[in-house]
A and B are shown apart, each in its own frame.
Chain A
């Protein structure tokens, strides 16, 4: 495969598409599929052939706005329809070339206008199981340009210049990591893509893998060329069957097109990728635990150094990046590092995909430039809190992150700004809570998660999270004391400072951040034996909300 051949494929796809006046894109991501968008696609195909119109129905990946699914996008008019059922297929097809169906039209300009799509540029526009669709949208140009016109060092240099930082949550500069692996000595090196999206409430990686799997494979291949690796692994959760299926198909197609395998692009560069299934362990998102899991062992982390960049999979130098990081690589190589660095804030470049969920109107996937205010994401793009409730907190970073109150909504989203206010960027989960959520209960929920997911290797995490859970349970059921609260704070510090890996070190974050911003709720539970949100079942104080003023005072 050469650049000319890529052009030919792209040209033939465009010629094929030009035969049609309209393209009807049907979202077949997990969210819309669960609302039978497969039946909708069949109905649309039938309706198109019955109408005799020159239209083409395409299966696509996620269009982002899961709340309004199943979604249908008609090109070139760019009409977006929401909540489309199979019964509506005829109406949609009949409207082609005329006025759109008003009752189904989704007009959320403010939702889409603020977004900048880099990682998601193809999501909703290509068929994830057709490699040619990807090639027609400049796919694999970056890989072939890199291996024919650039030195490995030149690739690393572009990535460094882009300012890209690890999208898995740590925010380690990607260029620096690549440089370390490239410099490591060894004839055999590995590239691993971390798709073990264990953070409950986040589904960015799932969507990217389902909507545009080739982009991740291309990113991995470029990385392999840059660091001198010849073998790659994608570690995906077994809970994501659709992502696994599409990825398997994508790997097969890439091999068939000669974009994986030996002598890629008629050069000496060889690279192939294998899928490894996760088996449901949150700790496997930690890089050393993930490596242990690929080696077929229990996923327990080990102390670093040595870092995987020096001694990783089977003791070889290993590059590990997140799905979203790899998805950013191809556009950076195509457009140059400077282009990427022109987006975002001072120390956090580019865009970030967030999974916006919880008590918010427009749940779904959004991609925004770094530095955008939290308020804009939640109130403008997300459409605010529904059903007349008031915003209470937004949780970022999953079980390792923190809860931020309304006063913090004016900070710009970046790695450093979020850490400064006691949360983290994390992989991109953003869960909005309203006045019906009890923050003590939320903290208990996360500690329970960390407790069950602790691998048990080091004591602070194994025993500490269990003790913290006991204390929080006591506070929630009304039997907690102020001494318990003190002990809890003390334990947080111990667990944070003495745990082996990221899971334990960040486990106290949800407690610390809720204590920082919502301490009054803890006090209410302990002193007044009432739950302000009415969530916790406090024995003997169930009527606390209706309790007389003097009791509450």
Chain B
């Protein structure tokens, strides 16, 4: 079998080198697919077609399988995130403490359903299946930073601050 040469990087964007680094660390093994996608998503913020194609080709995984993995796992996103992200935890403990009201209030304020980004690209509204901080429910993540015992007013204030930035 001829030696495998990985495809060239899609562009000179330095972030591709980080992605390539993860694959090299794993010896371009097929089972490194999820690891590599994690790296790609943390480098670019989301996974676009170029990223999925590049990773699939480099790891010699069928494109269909790579796409299947990306869409199977909730953590991977095919859409670019907004400038800021409000993630509301909808785990059981948060649900019991009334997280549905937080989601409804945020949806109303932003005029978008959960899982989407405002038209100006400023704010993404996401929900999470438990971030494991149930002792402080209800919990939201403002740009990844955990805030416990959240009340609607505080969350809306944060959204207002982001909106006028």
Measuring CB to CB, which residues of chain A are less than 8 angstroms from any residue of chain B?
Answer: 30-31, 33-35, 66-67, 69, 197-203, 206, 237-240, 276-282, 293-299, 355, 357-359, 363-365, 395, 398, 429, 431-433, 437, 442, 445-446, 449, 453, 455
Minimum CB–CB distance from B98 to chain A (whole Å) comes to 9
Interface residues on B, range: 35 or more
B135 and A280 contacting across the interface, CB-CB below 8 Å: no
Interface residue? B51 (CB, 8 A):
no
Interface residue? B158 (CB, 8 A):
no
Total number of residue pairs linking A and B with CB closer than 8 Å? 140
Interface residue? B4 (CB, 8 A):
no
Q: Which of A67, A293, A432 meets B135, CB within 8 Å? A: A67
A298 and B135 contacting across the interface, CB-CB below 8 Å: no
Interface residue? B147 (CB, 8 A):
yes
Q: Which of B34, B137, B139 meets A293, CB within 8 Å? A: B34
Minimum CB distance partner of A359 in chain B: B96
Given A239-B75, A365-B135, A433-B96, 15 more pairs with CB closer than 8 A:
A34-B145, A66-B133, A66-B135, A69-B135, A69-B136, A200-B130, A201-B93, A203-B134, A279-B74, A299-B73, A358-B93, A358-B96, A363-B135, A445-B95, A446-B92
Measuring CB to CB, which residues of chain B are less than 8 angstroms from any residue of chain A?
Answer: 30-35, 37-38, 61, 65, 68-69, 72-76, 90-93, 95-97, 128-137, 139, 145-148
Enumerate chain B residues within 8 angstroms of A206, measured Cβ to Cβ: 132
Q: Which of B33, B76, B97, B146 meets A358, CB within 8 Å? A: B97
B128 and A239 contacting across the interface, CB-CB below 8 Å: yes
CA distance A271 to B116 in the complex (A): 45
With A202-B134, A445-B95 known as contacts, the answer to whether A238 contacts B129 (CB < 8 A) is no
B132 and A197 contacting across the interface, CB-CB below 8 Å: yes
B135 and A445 contacting across the interface, CB-CB below 8 Å: no
Pick the most buried of B69, B73, B90, B132: most chain A CB atoms within 10 A of its CB: B132
- 10 A-B residue pairings within 8 Å (CB atoms): A66-B136, A198-B129, A200-B92, A206-B132, A237-B132, A276-B34, A296-B31, A355-B135, A357-B92, A357-B137
Minimum CB–CB distance from A383 to chain B (whole Å) comes to 13
Enumerate chain A residues within 8 angstroms of B35, measured Cβ to Cβ: 276-277, 296
CA distance A299 to B96 in the complex (A): 29
Q: Which of B33, B72, B92, B128 meets A201, CB within 8 Å? A: B92
Q: Which of B34, B92, B128, B147 meets A445, CB within 8 Å? A: B92
Enumerate chain B residues within 8 angstroms of A203, measured Cβ to Cβ: 130, 132-135
Pick the most buried of B61, B73, B129, B135: most chain A CB atoms within 10 A of its CB: B135
